[in-house]
Amino acid sequence: MQDVLDKIFPNLLRRKEELLQRIDRDSVAGDHYCSRGILPSTPYTLRVLLRLDFHNSNFRIHLLYRLVMADPSSSSSSSSSSSSFQRSYDVFLSFRGEDTRNSFTAHLYKELRTKGINTFIDDDKLERGDVISSALVAAIQNSKFSLIVLSENYASSWWCLEELVKILECIRTMGQRVLPIFYNVDPSHVRHHNGKFGEALAKHEENLRTMERVPIWRDALTQVANLSGWDSRNKHEPMLIKGIATYIWNKLFSRSSNYADQNLVGIESSIREIKSLLFIESLDVRMVGIWGMGGIGKTTLARAVYNQISHQFEACYFLENVSDYLEKRDFLSLQEKFLSQLLEDENLNIKGCISKEALLCSKNVLVVIDDVNN
C-alpha cells in the first residue's frame, strides 16, 4: 500500500513512518479531500479520502481508501462515486445576498481567493426548501472558519438565520472559528435585536412557519454579536477587506502565528492586562511599552497580543529587530519601510513628503516596534 501511495502522493508521503501511523478504515471526520490514481498495469483504481489534521505547524494524515475495478466504459459511475466525497474549505461565507452579494461580499470573496484561501460561497443555485440543504450543511461543517457578514437585512432571511444556527453549532461540536463582520450595522442592534434586526424577528414571529424558531434565532444573534470581529463603519472598505483576508491567511498558514499560540501558557494574564491598557475601542492614540531584561519573553508577549487584535485594525505592522536594522541603515529608511508596509505600497518614496503623518491620517493602525534600546 505504501508503494502505491508513494506514486500518487510523492511529495506528501516522504515521511511515511510518521504520516501513516494511523489508517482509519471505517470513518474519517474533519477535512476531506478526494483523489484517485490508476494503478500501473492493473484494471484497478485507488480512491483515497484524506483528512489533514493541522495542529500548530505540524499535520497528520488519516486515509480511507478503497480499491475498485475501473470501468472504462462508464464515466458517469466514477463521477457519481467521487461526488460522495465531501470537499473541505478554509472559509465559509454567510451573507444576505440582496445586501452584499454584488458588493462587499463579492470583493471579500475575490480577496480571499487571491490569497489562496479556499472559500465556499453559495452561488444561489442550491435548492431552497423548508430546511437548509444537506450540501450547505456539509460546506459549513467542513470549513475551518466561518465569516458572517451581518448586514441590514440579514435577519429578514430565515435561511441566513438557519445558517447562523448551524455555524454556531460547529463552534461547540467541531471547534470551528467564527468571525462576524458588522457591515454598516451597529453590533448592539444585532446583540439586543434592535432596529432592522428587531423588525425582522417580529415579522418572523407573526409567521406560522417560522414563529417557533424565533427564540433560537434570537439566541444565535446574541451569541454571534458577542464574538470578536470587525465593524465596517468609519473604515476604508478596501483596507478592511484586505485586513480580514490577511488575518485569515495568517491564522491558516503563518508560522509566527502558530509559534505565538504555542507559547501562551502562563502569559494569559499579561495579555489581558496589555489589551486593557490599549483600550482598543478608544479613538485616541495609545502607546504601551513592555520593559524588562533580555530573554524574559517581551517579544513573545507582544507577538501574542498582536496576533489576537491585529484583525481589528485597518493596517498593522510588527516591526522586528529595530536596533539591528538601525545599525545598518538610517532612520529615513526605517520610516520608508514602516510606511510602505502600512500603506501596502512597496515603491513608496517619502523623501519629498512634507507631512509624513498625513499619509496615515484617519487610519486605524496597530504598530508593534520590537527591540527598542533607547
Catalytically active residues, by annotation: 163
CB 211 within 8 A of CB 205: yes
CB 13 within 8 A of CB 4: no
Tell me which DSSP letter residue 127 carries. P
CB 62 within 8 A of CB 51: yes
Contacts of 334 (CB under 8 A, 6+ apart): 322, 325, 326
d(CA 176, CA 300): 25
Cell of 373: 534600546
**111: amino acid identity, one letter:** E
Tell me which DSSP letter residue 126 carries. S
CB 218 within 8 A of CB 193: yes
- Which of 72, 74, 82, 76 is CA-nearest to residue 47? 82
**34: amino acid identity, one letter:** C
